[in-house]
Amino acid sequence: MKANGKHDHIEDTEEYVEETLSLEEVEKDMIRKALERHKGKRKFAAQELGISERTLYRKINEYELE
């Protein structure tokens, strides 16, 4: 580590990026599984996930799950 702490910031940023990517993968997997359990019925999948149907629809498009 340098005296000005630049290395600490870089390591923290890399850890944050890795964590963000893994959280996105977990979310994507949870949505996929909820849709499978409810045979593609978004209303019930959204209820299980605790999100609105609109949010689920947006996430399906964002993660290209259709």
Domains of the chain: 6-62 (1.10.10)
Q: What is the pLDDT of residue 16?
A: 76
Q: What is the pLDDT of residue 9?
A: 64
Q: What is the pLDDT along the chain (66 residues), one digit of tens a residue?
A: 455 555 656 667 777 777 777 899 999 999 999 999 999 999 999 999 999 999 999 999 999 998
Give the residue among 64, 66, 22, 45 at the shortest CA–CA distance from 56: 45
Residue type, 31: I
Global pTM exceeds 0.85: no
Q: What is the pLDDT of residue 18?
A: 75
Give the residue among 15, 31, 53, 24 at the shortest CA–CA distance from 7: 15
